[in-house]
Structure formats: C-alpha cells, structure tokens
Amino acid sequence: MKKITLSIIALALVTGAWAQSLDRSVKPKPGAAPEIKLGKTESFTLPNGMQVFVVENHKLPTIECNIEFDVKPALEGDMAGYGSMMSELLLSGTTTRSKDKLNAEIDQMGANINVSEKEISGGGLKKYEEKILDLMADIAMNTVISKEELELARKKTLSGLETQKNDPDAMVRNVSAKVNFGDNHPYGEVATDETIKKITLDRCTNYYHTYFRPNVAYMAIVGDVTVAEIKPLIEKYFSKWQRAEVPVATYSIPAINATKLTKVSFAPRTGSVQSVISVTYPVDLKPGMPDVIKARVANTILGGGSAGRLFTGIREKHGWGYGAYSSLREDELGGTFNASGKFRNIVSDSALGAILDEMRLLETEKVSDTTLQNTITYISGNFAIGLEDPSRVAQYAINIERYHMPKDYYQNYLKNLAAVSSDDVMEMSKKYIRPDNANIVVAGSKDEVANKLARFSADGKIDYYDYSGKSVKPVETMAAPAGMTADDVYKKYLAAIGGENAINSLKDIKIVSNSEVQGTPLVITETKKAPNMWKQTIDVSMGGKTMTYQKEVFNGTKGFQEARGQKADITGDDLDEIIQGADIAVELHSDKYGIKRTLKGMESVNGSNAYVMEIVNGKGKKSVEYYDVTTGLLVKKIQGEGDKAQTSDYADYREVPGTNGYKVPYKIVESGAGNPTISATVQTVEVNKGIADTEFN
C-alpha cells in the first residue's frame, strides 16, 4: 500500500510542477485503478467445521484472534435483550476456571478477551498466543452462566435502560427499529424493563449451547504468526469443540415502496429545545451485491462525510445545526438507509425539508464529473488506508466465505469503484434513496415541533411512540383549573413538604444515597448547613475499596470541585447555581434569587396529572417544574437547554424524623446533560446534628 500512497503523492507533485503548461479546458481522463494486493492469507478447516484464516503481519510481536459466528437466531420475544447481555454472561467463568481465575489470567498477560452474542475475540503479545487460544477455547466450549451473574447483568442492563428513557438518540434508534422492521424481525426487537426482568437462566444457557458451535464459526488470526506454527495450537485447543446442528431462522426484509408512503413517527421529549431527526427505511442490500459499491458512491455524495451535500447544506449554507449525515448499510437480514441530524426546534421543519430535497435531487439530477471523481477518490483512499490494518484483510477473507462473494471481490474493489458513472449514481438513488417512501422519526418537543412536521406525512398525521418504540397516545397539555395560579401551586408544595416552620427548623442536614453507574456502586453524600454551606461527595466502590470519585464544596463564600485528583475553583454561572442550591431554606427565598413562576397548564407525568410551571431565575435562566395535582409534591424538573438539559424525577417522599413534618424524596433519577443516568435511593437522612463548619473547608 505504500506504493499506492507514494504514487498519489508523486502525481500531486508532478501536477503542481507542470500546472501552467496544462490545457485546463480539456478534462483529464481518470487514471487506471491501482491493482489491490491483499497480502498473504492462508486458510484451513478443522474436522469439526471451523474455518480458520491466518494473516501474517510481523511488524509487532502481537496477535489478534477473532471468532465470528454465522448465526440467525430465533426472535427473543418477551425476553428481548438477553442477546446483548451475553457480553457479560459469557465471561462468568467456565467448568475449569472461576470468573476470578479467568480475569486474573487475562490480566497477568495484559491481554484482552471480549465476548458478544455472535463473537469471541482476544489479543495480546505473541509470547502468550497459546494461552490466549486456550482461554478462548475454554470460553467457547465450557462457559458456565451462573444465576448470580445473570442478576448482575440484569441490574446493569436495567440501569442502562434508564438512560434511554430520556435520551433522544436512543428514542430515535428504538422507534426506527420498530417502524422499519416491526416485531417479527430481529432488528425490530427493543429491550424494555419488562423484557429484561423476564429473562431466565435457561434461555441464556440454551442460546450459548445452541449457537456457539464450530461448524458456524469463522476464526481469523492476525499478527506475528505463520500457519505452520499456529495450526497445531488451534488443533490442540479447538479440535475437541463438538459440532452440532444449528437452527437457522428466516426473516423477510420489510418492503417500503409506493404502497407505503412517507409517515412521521414522533417520540415526545418533555422540555427538549432541539430535535433529533432521522429519515430512514429498510433496504434490500446484501453484502457482495453488485449494487453495494455504486450505492456507496451515491450515499457518500449525499451525506457520507463533511463534504456531503447534507452537511454543507445544513451547516455551512443555512447554519441550522452542527451537521447532517447519511448512511446506507448492507446486511443479509435487512439493510437500512438513514439520513439524520440534530436541529433547534425553530428550524426543525426547515432542516427536514432540506434533507428530503437533497435526497430528491440525486434522483432527478445527474452529479457533476468533478463531484463524482472527488467522491471516488475519497472512497478509494479510505479503502486503501483500511488495507493497512491486517485485521481488516482477515475480515475480508471471512466475508468472502460467509456471504459467498466472488473470490476477487476485494481485489477488484477499486477497479469497480472507478467504473461507477453518474448514470449509476442516479440509478442507485432511484433504487435506494427514497424520500417519498420513508419513515421520518423524530424525538423532541411535541408542542413546539410535532405539528410543523405533519405536512411531511403522506396522510398528514403524526404517529406517537414512547422511548422503546411502543405506540402511545400523545400527552396533551391541559388548561389548569379556573382561578388556579402559580402561587397557589407553590404554596401547596411548601405545605406538602412540611411548611415554613419545618423548613426553618433545619440547622443542618445530611443525606446519604446509594446508586450505581454501569454496575459500579456509588455512594452520594449531600451535606448542608445553615445558612448556605454545602458539600457533595460521590464515592466509588471497586475491588473492595472505596474512593472519593468527585467532590464539590461551598463554604458560603467560595467553592471548589475536585475529581480524579484535579481541583478547580467554582466560578461564573456554576457558582451562581451553587449559591442558590446551598441555601438550606431555598424553597422560602424565591424573591432573594429573583425567581418568577408561570403556570403553563397540566400534563400527565407517570400516569398522574401534574401542574406545569415555567421557572425563570434572576439570571434569566429557564427551567420547567412539574407538581403533582393531588399531592402537591414536585415530581419532575428539567434544567438547561439542548445537550445540556438535565431531567430530575422525584418520588417516594418521606417525612424525616425530628423535623416536625419535613419531607424529602427518597428516590431521585437524574438523566441527560451528556452524563449517564443516575438512579439514587436515599439510605439515611440526619438533621440538626451540629455539623462543624470545618466540613466545608
């Protein structure tokens, strides 16, 4: 590949040196596509059916091994999500090694071994090649999934699902899966709390024993090895792996054609100030099909990078967002087209219109020779760079066997790419880029955006979905009862949490909560002292040890934050926010902080009606608060805008002993602002214990 790179550089130098002697009125003819040499790939097949591909690369004393399973499993159904949990479960230990022993052996080598529902991979230094193969074989043949590991994986997965419930990208992804493929296709299944809770140990174990078989396995070994030395080791550790009949489920690719016109699917996200928009649909485009290369050129012109028409139009021409992109993915069970971006509420409909216009333009107007050649050069460069990675070469060898592609498919890739014409681009656009037969999926503000998008739906209607792709009736903002004011709602809230006397009785308070992020236990401790001292620490428990991961402190005058050994003063808007939050009786001091409340109406929150209040503080910052109509308690709060928006949900209010009725929520879920969702449960609340000022130094 160095020769190709040097040839391109040399051509550029020659072009620069002789530029003045060229006749620029004559378009130069494209040069011949360079010949591709994939390097030496050798293969063999074990008696049990496992196919092995070896790619030598002696630049570094390392090896990478990947086992890929060609499986088409049955639908997960009411236990959707167990496949994605396999990455945790299949490292639970084996009949010969406990989980701790397995992890210890991996760590001692400084190696890496990863597992998913369709793959086992490992890598490390060449001197450990035999040990790596030994461990991978043990996992492939002898894994034991324990009930305890299943419960840990379930807990971690449920925690991850909490994030999705308010993540607009996850909302669009889940809704797209449902409307593109439906419930009867594996790509249309979406895990929910209900399906994760139903997963049984038998279902997970049966999947492993059914589909992890050598006769559907492709192994690629890449690195400082030769077939002569590695084949005996593979035979030693994998020959005992028993083949078995592996069931093959069949699925049809959902059709989007003239009988299914464009529809708009909307996932409402309370308080959202921007929309995540995707124009998407399934396509019948499988690996190795003649259309793949030509379709890739068409998609790259549309939105395959920062030079794509979507990006330059949305960002550079109109300034409606940071960018927009498209993808056209081939897959044997069902490929997908997707054009997407994130846009402010006020321009969401305009940006969507621009995306659809660019898609239509490719169907009706030939691309210029310059655009075509620039695109082909761009794709050629990426392909050539990819060949520098031996693992990519190994994957190509697997693809040829797995998808029954022509043996010279990748060798002829650049030649076939160079032959793509503007007529081909238009043909592929008409076939695969279909703006008038698409699913438009949006996550954002229903009140500010949804109605403006109805004109893009063929029937003029909007279909609504929740975060998981379940069809729902949209939440409507209702008028508040006649005569009800923002002051009335807030006074009811103050009474519900104990009243002014209970709040004023607080001299200090310490709340300790438990939580976890991606399976890692957290202890969150918040301490306040009258009138306005505050401290919060987040402690992490790992390997039997506890350490303070993050700390924020305000002593009434100034504050600092400390994380991972880095300490910084709190200033600006962050300081203003902490000054207000540190006030132990902040609920009673609205005037002090210039807080203005406006009652906007009522909405349903978690099945109960809640008053919706818009809050504007003295700095002009807005937030939205939701107060339960029946109890008067604060149940939700949304702060910030765009990617910085954070949603807090409050539940399980309890009276704190010794406070004359003061109540705090014992369950708090915080999501958004680019952070993982944190679900905290209060363990203890202590008040008026005489906390010293030195706690806030």
Tell me the range of 7-21, 416-430, 511-525, 636-650 where mean pLDDT is highest: 416-430
User: Cβ–Cβ contacts within 10 Å for residue 495, how many?
Assistant: 13
Query: Do 435 and 571 belong to one domain?
Result: no
What is d(CA 196, CA 188) in angstroms, rounded to the nearest whole number? Answer: 16
Average pLDDT of the residues in 543-556:
87
Regarding whether 450 and 361 lie in a shared domain, the answer is: yes
Q: Is the pLDDT of residue 402 over 90?
A: yes
| Helices 422-432/291-303 angle, 10° precision | 90
Mean pLDDT confidence for 121-129? 95
- Measured between alpha carbons, how far is 17 from 323 in angstroms, rounded to an integer? 37
For 694, half-sphere exposure in the C-beta direction (CA atoms, 13 angstrom radius) is 0
pLDDT band at 166 (very low <50, low <70, confident <90, very high): confident
**What is the mean pLDDT of the segment spanning 229-254?**
95
> Does 542 or 156 have the greater pLDDT score?
156
pLDDT at 4 over 50: no
User: pLDDT tens, 434-444?
Assistant: 999 999 999 99
594 assigned to some structural domain:
yes
pLDDT of residue 521: 87
**Any residues with CB less than 8 A from the CB of 547 and at least 6 apart, and which?**
539, 540
Q: CATH number for the domain including 226? A: 3.30.830.10
Chain segment 583-609, per-residue pLDDT in tens: 999 999 999 999 999 999 998 888 889
Tell me if 14 is assigned to some domain.
no
Q: What is the mean pLDDT of residues 648-677?
A: 88
pLDDT in tens, 672-688: 766 777 889 999 999 99
Q: Answer whether 176's CB lies under 8 Å from 188's CB.
A: no
Please classify residue 449 by burial: count the beta carbons closer than 10 Å to its beta carbon, then call 0-12 exposed, 13-18 middle and 19+ buried.
Answer: buried
Same domain, 68 and 199: yes
pTM above 0.85, yes or no: no
Q: Does residue 13 lie within any of the structural domains?
A: no
Domain boundary among the residues 185, 205, 238 is at: 238
Q: At which of 410, 429, 464 does a domain end? A: 464
* Same domain assignment for residues 401 and 510: no
Report the 10 Å Cβ neighbour count for 233. 17
pLDDT of 515 above 80: yes
Is residue 298 a part of any domain in this protein? Answer: yes
- What does the alpha-carbon distance between residue 342 and residue 275 come to, in Å, rounded to a whole number? 6
Give the pLDDT confidence of 474-490 residue by residue, as tens digits. Answer: 877 789 999 999 999 99
Which residue range is the domain that position 447 belongs to?
263-464
User: Structurally, how many domains does the chain consist of?
Assistant: 3
The reply to whether 216 and 334 lie within a common domain is no
The pLDDT of residue 6: 28
Within a domain: residue 243?
no
The rounded distance, in Å, linking the Cα atoms of 114 and 122 is: 6
Tell me, what's the pLDDT at 5?
28
Q: How far apart are CA 267 and CA 476, in angstroms?
A: 13
Residue identified by tokens 């209702």 is: 478
Which CATH number fits the domain that encloses residue 507? Answer: 2.50.20.10
Under a CB-based contact definition with an 8 Å cutoff, are residues 605 and 595 in contact?
Answer: no
Same domain for 533 and 449, yes or no, is: no
Among 297-301, 307-311, 385-389, the range with the most confident prediction by mean pLDDT is: 297-301
Among 223, 238, 253, the domain-final residue is 238
pLDDT of residue 574: 87
* pLDDT beyond 60 at 17: no
> Does residue 531 have a cis bond before it (omega within 30 degrees)?
yes
Residue 71 placed within a domain: yes
Could you tell me if 590 and 685 lie in one domain? yes
If pLDDT is split at 50, 70 and 90, which confidence band does 622 have?
Answer: confident
Residue 273 vs residues 170, 347, 371, 613: alpha-carbon distances, Å: 17, 11, 35, 16
Judge whether 445 lies within some domain: yes
Return d(Cα 39, Cα 43) in angstroms, integer. Answer: 13
Pair 224, 274 in one domain: no
To which residue do tokens 């008038």 refer?
436
Mean pLDDT of the chain, nearest integer: 89
What confidence score (pLDDT) does residue 34 get? 57
pLDDT confidence of residue 78: 96
Q: Is the pLDDT of residue 695 over 90?
A: yes
Confidence of residue 452 (pLDDT cuts 50, 70, 90): very high
Question: Is residue 567 situated within a structural domain?
Answer: yes
Residue 148 sits in the same domain as residue 281: no
Cα dist from 644 to 276, 385, 485, whole Å: 15, 36, 30
Q: Is the pLDDT of residue 1 over 50?
A: no
Kindly tell me if the per-residue pLDDT of 45 is higher than 90: yes
- Rounded to the nearest 10°, the torsion over CA 70, 74, 75, 79 is -100
Nearest-angstrom CA–CA distance, 226 and 221: 10
Pick from 596, 634, 642, 641: nearest CA to 615: 596
Contact 510, 526 (CB under 8 A): yes
Taking alpha carbons only, the member of 662, 532, 634 closest to residue 685 is: 662
The span from the CA of 444 to the CA of 276, in Å, is 7
- Do 341 and 419 have their domain in common? yes
Verify that 53 and 184 share a domain, yes or no: yes
Q: What stretches of 85-193 adopt beta strand conformation (E)?
A: 112-116, 119-125
Q: Are residues 437 and 559 in the same domain?
A: no
Rounded percentage of the chain residues whose pLDDT exceeds 90: 74
Helix (H), strand (E), coil (C) string for 667-693:
EEEEEECCEEEEEEEEEEEEECCCCCH
Task: Decide if 148 contacts 79 (C-beta within 8 A).
Answer: no
